[in-house]
Structure 1
Amino acid sequence: MTIATIEIPDKKTTLVKQLLKELGVTVKIEKEEKSPYDPKFVAKIKKADKDIVKGRTKKIPIADLWK
């Protein structure tokens, strides 16, 4: 068995699904949702998460937050 991932425009999904069904191909539809976030923002957050894991952070006690 071979698994292939293809991107289909929303307008053509039904047509392609019917064609593949006629050919005896099992079809699993997964709709990709666009993120509402700016890609630069997402990259910045991911970088911060990596920094936390690598220990490149500074811990501030709660009592000192407002000083």
Structure 2
Amino acid sequence: MDIVLKNVKKKDFPVLKSLAKSLGFEIIEKIDKPYNPEFVKEILEAREELKQGKGIKMSLEEIDKLWK
């Protein structure tokens, strides 16, 4: 049987970990990263390019034509 604990406070984790260890449970820590680091890098680079004037401006009509 698997048990998943979410939103455990840092101060409570050592207590839970110690209890689980004393009962012979296997402990697997998984820290979720919300975004792929490569994706974040691409977004930050694109923002920097916009600041440098490398972007283009499009009207809503031009954008609408792209997907039709």
- Report the TM-score when normalising by structure 1: 0.45
TM-score relative to the length of structure 2? 0.45
